[in-house]
Amino acid sequence: MSRSFVSAVLVGGSVLALAVSATSAFAQTAPATPASNQTFGDSAGQGDIAEPAIGDIVVTAQRRSERLQDVPLAVTAVTAEGLAQRQISDTNSLVLAVPSLSYQQGANPTNTSFRIRGVGTALFGQGVESSVSVVTDGVVAIRAAQGFSDLADVEQVEVLRGPQGTLFGKNASAGVINITTALPSNTFQMKADATVAEHGEYRARGTVSGPISDTLRARVTGFYSDVRGITRNIATNSWVNGSKSWGVRGKLDWDATDTLNLVAAADYRKTDADCCASTLINIANPLLQRLAGPIQATRENRTISEDANTYANSKSQTYSLTGNLDLGSATLTSITAYQKFDLDVNQPIDRINAPVPLFVGANAAYSWWNQNHGRVDLKGFTQEVRLANRGNSDINYVVGVFYLNSSINRPFDRRRARCTAGTLGQPCAPGNIVYQSSASDITLDQQNISVFGQTDFKIVGGLRAIAGVRVQHEKGTNAGTRIAPIQPGDTVFPNNPPNSGSFSASDTAVTGKAGLQYEFNRNLQTYATYTRGYKGLGFEMEIGGNLAAQSAVEPEHVNAYEIGAKGRTADGSLSFAVALFRSDYTNLQVQANRSDPVTGVVQFVTTNAGSSRSQGVELEATLRPSRNLSVNMGVTYARSRINIDGLNCGLQLQAAAPVIATGVPTNVCYRSAAGATPQQNLRDRPLQASPDWRISVAPRWDFQLSSALDAFVQSSLAYTSAQYFTSELDPLTIQPAYAIVDASVGVRTSDQRYSLTLFVRNLFNENYLTSIGHNSLLSTTASPFDLVGTYNKDSRRYAGATLGVKF
């Protein structure tokens, strides 16, 4: 057992002891309360599951409605009010409120990812599912790219930490983001808000809801956003790395009988983004600086000079029908859904203003690469049926069956050119241009069926046992063709010869959960659980794969252990949740760099890491020392480490890599023989984009300006420790620790009909990057220090205002 984990356990235990001691003190000094508001010290009602009361947060983390306080797992719940207070308008911004959740911006939505406790899936390939499942109104997103969306008219977001496969399925090996949107209302309601912010940001959202008849209700929500990029392309005199999106969601809520309720929902979203062009953040090669023109390549750089368009345009559609049949002591639920998702992406590679190939050296792999284009066309059908008792019983249960049938089509085409002779930096003569091209068209069809169940039951007093199991079977068929070249006169793209094939694989897995929970009373509980998690087979769907000799990426398994406690004082002035966790992964599905600096082929392959471990401690607390002041706090220490063999070394380390012909060297760049490609075998090294520490503190002061106006002042701090941005742990790709401070002030009428909020993001203008990598053009082992990076809008300070209205 590592010293750092022991330290984390000691810290977590100390925090738990202090929290219990503090809350016990609160209980001793608090005035007498009814039994329904027992303090930590009360023992009456041990083992009784409390009914929700005013002020309680209700979640569906265990597929039934329960008080957050009673759920024996680590959950962060962010209500609609909390989202509005923190100006969280999309899923990407949830990291502001949930320290255990991180978001890594990739070059496009296909390799952008969420991580929970440091674990996630950041892959170019569409043949691998995400480790963090995004579920909206009970419908599981089939691929991660579907989960990056606007949070219009959302009732609540729950972030479930740790493996959740027993109840949520096979793509939840790190956790779940569970989104619940608002249902139609029994009375007429209308609300709208509009946001205007610096650097060309405009957002608008609106909702209309109400009854159509005594048994039928409807709700319609729409949103629009236009967020201009903050990167200036001096070649085209335009702003890039922004997006325009709009969407509409409609719901019909029908009480078909006294016991049967049906909710039909339709959701459509469209996004057009000129994202995500990387900027040069370091240039060491004089020729590259000449080609880049006036660009000053620093980590503050927000300027590019490119002739080609970068874009990532998507359309998403989800249609669902949810039925709930009241059987008296239990509810039978059916969720039927159809999803369609289309993504069209072009990611130019050369990053220079060169409409025609230039001569950049006789040995240069290329000098023009504007066509790097792919699509994702996804269709999927899911059906879930489950039966759950009402809870609040000595024996609680949920059982169900789930079925998925999906098809993902992945066309891709790329074309580049090299110039064999000429004048440095000048256009290439037509006779010296060599075009290289290839294209692929791959389709993955998958089916999954599973049965699952979970129960918790009273043993004695406040002691309850937890047991759950899921048995699932999946099958996938991956078939496709690669052609090369794709235009007359071109040559075959390096390492991409014509190729075709079909491959099928299947797997059956049994996962589950076991644990104990002890409820001291309504306001204090502790628990210990073991969870076996699973993520299914992966398939190679990208253009560089060998379709004629395919093999599956092995399933990912995890054994997770968690000990936690949750408590609150009787008057609600303090509430807390603390969790100690360890998750041991085998065959973690990762993206490994197999790019070739000699041929200039940029290639990342999907593979399995030998093993990895995420362990640490989490603490969440809310202080309410008065009715006007509240402070939300969260601290996550997650030490995520990986073991993996055969990775590329950082480009700058390859030239000096020694020959080590015997044994298995670890954590060093070496060659197995003279002339062999440098490689490294990592042991107990950090996972990419996984900082050890994340801390969030958000105080808020509410006060009355007059009998007609209320006001508030709020600030928040989000601290992130240092992290690597590449799996090969290249020291040039480290993002140092940084802290972002946001602030807002606002007023609203006492009837809450009108509100105005003024806000500032990144008050102290703290610069940070969301990815760092080596520039491809002209990068060699002899010239390895040209770097590129990406960043979010809030890596620079900006201010804005939101105006809201409700009727």
The number of CA neighbours under 13 Å toward the Cβ of 27 is 23
Q: What is the pLDDT of residue 171?
A: 84
Using CA atoms, how far apart are residues 50 and 296, in angstroms rounded to an integer? 61
SS3 label, residue 765: coil
Q: What is the pLDDT of residue 690?
A: 92
511-536 as b/e: b if 16+ CB within 10 A: bbbebebbbbbbbbbbbbbebbbbbb
What is the fold of 3-647+687-806? Maltoporin; Chain A (2.40.170)
Pairing of strands 433-460, 491-492: parallel
As annotated, the residues of the chain forming the CATH 2.40.170.20 domain(s) are: 3-647+687-806
And the tokens for 341? Answer: 């998702």
And the tokens for 154? Answer: 């959302």
Q: What global pTM score does this model have? A: 0.89
Dihedral sign computed on CA atoms, order 164, 166, 172, 177: negative
Using CA atoms, how far apart are residues 694 and 102, in angstroms rounded to an integer? 9
DSSP assignment of 409-472: EEEEEEEEEEE-SS-TTSBPPGGGEEEEEEEEEEEEEEEEEEEEEEEEEEEETTEEEEEEEEEE
Q: pLDDT (tens digit, 9 = 90+) per residue, 655-682?
A: 999 999 988 899 999 999 998 889 899 9
Using CA atoms, how far apart are residues 792 and 199, in angstroms rounded to an integer? 13
Using CA atoms, how far apart are residues 682 and 613, in angstroms rounded to an integer? 13
DSSP assignment of 481-537: EEES--STT-EEPTT---EEEEEEEEEEEEEEEEEEEEEEETTEEEEEEEEEEEE--
CB proximity list for 482: less than 8 A, separation 6 or greater = 438, 439, 440, 496, 497, 498, 499, 500, 543, 547
SS (H, E, C) 26-62: HHHHCCCCCHHHCCCCCCCCCCCCCCCCCCCCEECCC
Q: Which residues pair with 711 in a beta bridge?
A: 703, 747
Q: What is the pLDDT of residue 594?
A: 53
Q: What is the pLDDT of residue 765?
A: 97
Backbone φ and ψ for 549, nearest 5 degrees, come out as -140, 65
Using CA atoms, how far apart are residues 477 and 502, in angstroms rounded to an integer? 7
Using CA atoms, how far apart are residues 304 and 295, in angstroms rounded to an integer? 7
Place of tokens 């569409």: 126
- How many H-runs (helices) and E-runs (strands) does the chain carry? 5, 44
Using CA atoms, how far apart are residues 10 and 310, in angstroms rounded to an integer? 49
SS (H, E, C) 620-656: EEEECCCCCEEEEEEEEEEEEEEEEEEECCCHHHHCC
Q: What is the pLDDT of residue 54?
A: 53
CB proximity list for 788: less than 8 A, separation 6 or greater = 278, 279, 280, 281, 351, 772, 773, 774, 775
Using CA atoms, how far apart are residues 592 and 725, in angstroms rounded to an integer? 12
Task: List Cα–Cα distances, 738 to 97, 723, 770, in angstroms.
Answer: 16, 10, 12
Pairing of strands 798-806, 189-197: antiparallel
And the tokens for 347? Answer: 């990611």
Q: What is the pLDDT of residue 10?
A: 36
Q: pLDDT (tens digit, 9 = 90+) per residue, 102-116?
A: 888 777 777 778 899
Residue type, 335: I
Pairing of strands 463-483, 499-521: antiparallel
Using CA atoms, how far apart are residues 785 and 782, in angstroms rounded to an integer? 9
**Alpha helical stretches, state H, 123-278:** 165-168
The beta strands (E) that lie in 522-610 are given as: 524-535, 556-568, 574-586, 589-593, 604-608
Task: List Cα–Cα distances, 226 to 197, 198, 413, 437, 796, in angstroms.
Answer: 11, 12, 29, 35, 18
Distance of CA 530 to the CA centre of its chain: 24
Task: List Cα–Cα distances, 245 to 193, 203, 223, 228, in angstroms.
Answer: 16, 9, 8, 11
Distance of CA 253 to the CA centre of its chain: 30
Place of tokens 């959960």: 513
Cβ contact 518:20 at 8 Å: no
CA angle, 249 then 254 then 257, to 5°? 160
SS3 label, residue 658: coil
The residues of the chain scoring below 50 in pLDDT are: 1-48, 596-602
Which of 737, 729, 720 shows the shortest CA–CA distance to 773?
729
Backbone φ and ψ for 543, nearest 5 degrees, come out as -65, -25
